[in-house]
Amino acid sequence: MTAPLRQTRFKIGGMDCASCAAKVDTAVRRLDGVADVSVSVTGASMTVSHGGPLNDDKVLRQVARLGYGIVRAEARTDGPAAKAHDHADHDHEGHDYEGHDHAGHDHGGGQQITNGAAGPSHLHSHAEPGQAWWRTRRAALTLACAAALLAAYGIGNLYPVAERWVFLAALLVGLVPIARRALMAALAGTPFSIEMLMTIAAAGAVMIGATEEAAAVVVLFLIGELLEGVAAGRARASIQGLADLVPKTALVERGGGTVEVPAEQLGVGDVIVVRPGDRIPADGEIVEGSSDIDEAPVTGESTPKRKGVAEAVFAGTINSDGVLKVRVTAAASDNTIARVVRLVEEAQEAKAPTERFIDRFSRYYTPGVLAVGALVALLPPLFAGGDWSEWIYKGLAILLIGCPCALVISTPAAIAAGLATGARRGLLMKGGAVLEGFRRITAVAFDKTGTLTAGKPVVTDIVVYGRDERNVLALAAALEQGSSHPLALAILDRAKADKAPVPPALSAKAISGKGVEGCVGGVAVFLGSGPAAGERADMTQAQRLAIDSLNGQGKTVSVLVADGVVAGLIAMRDEPRPDAAAGVTALKAEGIRTVMLTGDNRRTAEAIAASLGIEARAELLPQDKQRMIGELQREGLKVAKVGDGINDAPALAAADIGIAMGGGTDVALETADAAILHGRVMDVARMVRLSRAVMANIGQNIIVALGLKAVFLVTTILGITGLWPAILADTGATVLVTANAMRLLRWRG
């Protein structure tokens, strides 16, 4: 019988690209006893599956040699929890998370090896939490190398005899760390890494006397790597901010009174007291009281829900107006927010690393260039009586032609230009892999509240009976003064916009679950739900039909009763953004399927969807949204998810590309791969178009860079061109492709 696999989890610092993950993956797989490795760049984590005991020291040292900080996080055996990491086929529904609270896990007690403790100081040195990118070791290395190059130019002009040596010294400042990492990666199973490519290119340039160019190439490479790493660092550890939604303490009933205890100590069956305005500290069931519950953090529902005895409430939601007693149904490690944290982490780990083009290409390009150079230098003298100096000269020229300057600089230049032009238009994408991924998107899943819609209800209809609209608005606004309820704010905003007077209300009071009443200008006024209004006034059949019609459009209807007579109906709904319909149409024009995933009620969702021409899936919890994303992916679609709330975080992480809408929560923004700052639905289609423009530009750059090299390779072998034309071929290609990339700065979308 095969022994069950055990899994050990590590946190890794300093990874900021797919090639980093590939190096770590390859190195750890070579260790004895390792069955499988899953590395997440965004989660800064690695899960190692192993059949027997794992020698942690070997794993720690193997990764540290590559230059990354590493700490052991946790270990577990095969079972429900371990199966959470079988991401290819795992279904999160009904999953047993008990005992694996990543959000609350303390990594500080684990054994740790950083790049300062073992292995070389590394190029991808990461910032500590809260540390600015310019304070990192990588930034210091880039600045030091650039300063050394500038100093070399100055000294070389003043003392020409020392020019070669000062440029060599400037080169070594940046090349030594790169070469050391290249060596460590080669020993760990990745011989032709991007660092190895740069090391060979620089060494080849020095061999033929182009030391100045070699130093410049290293500086440009370091700058490109620095820019690439800046965006990647912002996604680190942000998901832990979800835990802040759950209050740190809770009031527990004990011995006839209440005692304040840490929320993490709550056990199933405890009865807690939740005061108005407080966040609910645990998942539970109401045993006494009723109140409006703001569930936006969990479901994205645009308006609070009235809940009473025997109804479920979720950790992190907000109790609006009544005192509640709640029986706890889930421990802190298994509440709704903790589950969301784990869903996000698992979805991040499930993403397969996408290697950068240059690193993939270098696996063939670097050995190919070396082989061609060696063959040109050796074969003619050995077998055809050629002149050694002549053919070594040609071999060195070919090595210089093979210098990856144009390839190393031009592709990041196009991506940087694309990211910059996007950012100027409020389209933020976290790195080149995300920008590239947009061109492959074939389906977009939108959240409703705050994404397709503005995120707050507005007054859409005012139906009056015997009074004018201003008077009905004035009476309703008078009762709602001072309230922070979203529906009350909608009425007050409409009254302000219509310049309706808001008289004072006497003896105004809320009637639990029904509405609000008071006296305005000597008139007894009530504003509330249709059934509650029906208890205070006779309603005609026409009035009831009008309410039903408005409800059928997904609108919430408040009925105004004045002196026992229905005076008007005020309908409210969270309306679509002004460009929502155009944005959906633009995506369809690009051949992209659109679907709405929302926690809102089905009637409202279907009404909004019908007006936008989009598919609707309603009444979904976070895990439901994530499951829907998986279903679309299993249909063969590349899915982008657009959302703005915490409830969207798992689906954002599970999608091929997660997009946070402007004004969204920090968690949504950090979980997402991209963000739309200005809240325009049309910007999703613009991101797709920008991606396609950038990738077309990169294709042109590759053709130019490799085409020039191919031409000069042939002319060098034929003896038509030599070292200086070879240098011009390389620098000329760099200039051409960089200029081509800069055209993207004029992109208008």
User: 10 Å Cβ neighbour count for 440?
Assistant: 14
CA–CA separation, 395 and 387 (whole Å): 12
3-state SS assignment for residue 178: helix
CA–CA separation, 570 and 555 (whole Å): 10
Q: Could you say which DSSP state residue 577 is in?
A: P
Q: What pairs with residue 445 in β-bridges?
A: 595, 641
611 phi and psi angles, rounded to 5 deg: -70, -20
Q: What pairs with residue 38 in β-bridges?
A: 47
263 phi and psi angles, rounded to 5 deg: -60, -30
CA–CA separation, 238 and 232 (whole Å): 12
Active site residue 447: yes
| Pairing label, strands 523-528, 515-520 | antiparallel
Residue 551, exposed/middle/buried by CB under 10 A (0-12, 13-18, 19+)?
Answer: middle
How is residue 747 written in tokens?
Answer: 């992109």
CA–CA separation, 126 and 519 (whole Å): 64
Residue 657, exposed/middle/buried by CB under 10 A (0-12, 13-18, 19+)?
Answer: buried
Which of 447, 574, 600, 656 is flagged as catalytic?
Answer: 447
Strand ranges, E, within 476-555: 506-511, 515-520, 523-528
User: 10 Å Cβ neighbour count for 109?
Assistant: 9
Q: Which long-range contacts (CB under 8 A, 24 or more apart) does 357-360 make?
A: 357/411, 357/698, 358/194, 358/197, 358/404, 358/407, 358/408, 358/411, 359/18, 359/19, 359/22, 359/193, 359/194
CA–CA separation, 152 and 163 (whole Å): 7
Shortest CA distance to 415 belongs to which of 398, 437, 393, 440? Answer: 437
**Does residue 520 contact residue 471 with C-beta atoms inside 8 Å?**
no
- Rounded to 10 degrees, what is the CA torsion of 100, 102, 108, 109? 10
Tell which phi-psi region holds residue 537, choosing left (phi > 0), alpha (psi between -120 and 50) or beta.
beta
Query: Which residues 6+ apart lie within 8 Å of 329 measured at CB?
Result: 268, 282, 283, 284, 285, 312
**Does residue 302 contact residue 296 with C-beta atoms inside 8 Å?**
yes
CA–CA separation, 103 and 439 (whole Å): 34
3-state SS assignment for residue 276: coil
H or E element that contains 597 = strand 593-597
31 phi and psi angles, rounded to 5 deg: -80, 145
511 phi and psi angles, rounded to 5 deg: -110, 115
Residues with a catalytic annotation lie at 447
